[in-house]
Every structure is written in structure tokens, then in C-alpha cells.
């Protein structure tokens, strides 16, 4: 896999239920990770979804998560486009172009799950997420 493009949906606190619903609609494999798995397991948001990914038999990929603590949930502003893969040069080039004239909300850098990840809003107001998979040892 070099890279892929898919929607990323944001939820207030019901990402688990929504992603399970979409799995019922489209079928496929659903992977869910909680904030507790990547942070403080005793935090109030520990059971909320930090990242969910549904991969369907038809080749669709749908991602989603609960809005992180400290970030305002704004209905109507609940989708971003996600670019992910392992071709770091290709994805960094996309990132640079998307950020040009836009606003970086999360710098593209190594994250606690091991990948490089960043978020930006392009000059047209579209939200983008870029995730570069960690190199396997």
C-alpha cells in the first residue's frame, strides 16, 4: 500500500455505536482503539474511541473517533479527509501542499502510537489528516 484516501468522521461521544452501526450496514472488519489504551486508563474519556477503522469487503474504508477532550464538537463540522499509508515521501509532499495557505492544527510528527500524524485545514476550509505508518522493524 502506498497511500489511500477515506473519510474520517467525528462524534460527540457515540463513535463506538456509530461505527458498529456502519459495520452492520457495510459488513467488514472493525477495529476500535480507546483513549485509555493510549493515555490514562482511569481518565473520564478512557472508554471513548480515539480511533476507529472499518474496512469493508467492497473496499471501502471508513474511519471515525470521539472528539478528544478539550476540543469543541461542532455538529456540521464533523468530517475530515484522511490520507494514510507508508510512502512517507509521497505523504509528506501532499502534507506540504495541503498546508500551503492553510492552517496546521496538529504538526506532522511522531505520535504516541508510533506513526507520524498531522492535521490541517487547507485554504478552502477542508480538514485533512495525514498518517504515515511507522516503519516495521
Residue 31's pLDDT is: 98
14-30 per-position pLDDT tens digit: 999 999 989 998 899 99
Number of independent structural domains in the chain: 2
Query: Is 54 a residue whose pLDDT tops 70?
Result: yes
Domain at 85, CATH number:
3.10.180.10
Residue 72 falls within a domain, yes or no? no
Could you list the residue range(s) of the whole structural domain that residue 121 is in? Answer: 78-137
* pTM confidence score: 0.71
Report, as an integer, the average pLDDT of 38-56.
Answer: 90
Residue 2 falls within a domain, yes or no? no
Residue 24 near residue 46, CB atoms below 8 Å: no
Same domain, 82 and 53: no
Query: Is 1 a residue whose pLDDT tops 60?
Result: no
102-136 per-position pLDDT tens digit: 999 999 999 999 999 999 988 878 789 999 998 75
Same domain, 83 and 62: no
Question: Residue for cell digits 496538529?
Answer: 106
Same domain, 62 and 84: no
Which of these, 88, 75, 73, 86, lies nearest to 1 by C-alpha position? 86
Residue 50 near residue 33, CB atoms below 8 Å: yes
Residue 37 falls within a domain, yes or no? yes
Taking the CA atoms of residue 12, residue 6, residue 61 and residue 109 in that order, the dihedral angle to the nearest 10 degrees is: -80
First and final C-alpha spacing in the chain: 17
Strand partners, 110: 116
Quote the Cα angle for 93-134-137, to 5°.
130
Residue 92 falls within a domain, yes or no? yes
Residue 128 near residue 119, CB atoms below 8 Å: yes
Which of these, 78, 80, 30, lies nearest to 53 by C-alpha position? 30
Question: Residue for cell digits 500551503?
Answer: 100
Residue 30's pLDDT is: 98
Amino acid at each position: 500500500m502506498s497511500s489511500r484516501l477515506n473519510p474520517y468522521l467525528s462524534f460527540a461521544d457515540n463513535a463506538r455505536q456509530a461505527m458498529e452501526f456502519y459495520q452492520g450496514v457495510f459488513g467488514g472488519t472493525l477495529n476500535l482503539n480507546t483513549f485509555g489504551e493510549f493515555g490514562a486508563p482511569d481518565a473520564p474519556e478512557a472508554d471513548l474511541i480515539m480511533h476507529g477503522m472499518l474496512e469493508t469487503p467492497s473496499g471501502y474504508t471508513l474511519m471515525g473517533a470521539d472528539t478528544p477532550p478539550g476540543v469543541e464538537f461542532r455538529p456540521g463540522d464533523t468530517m475530515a479527509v484522511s490520507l494514510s499509508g507508508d510512502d512517507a515521501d509521497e505523504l509528506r509532499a501532499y502534507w506540504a501542499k495541503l498546508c500551503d495557505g492553510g492552517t496546521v492544527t496538529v504538526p506532522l510528527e511522531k505520535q504516541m502510537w508510533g506513526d507520524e500524524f498531522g492535521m490541517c485545514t487547507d485554504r478552502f476550509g477542508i480538514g485533512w489528516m495525514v498518517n504515515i505508518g511507522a516503519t516495521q522493524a
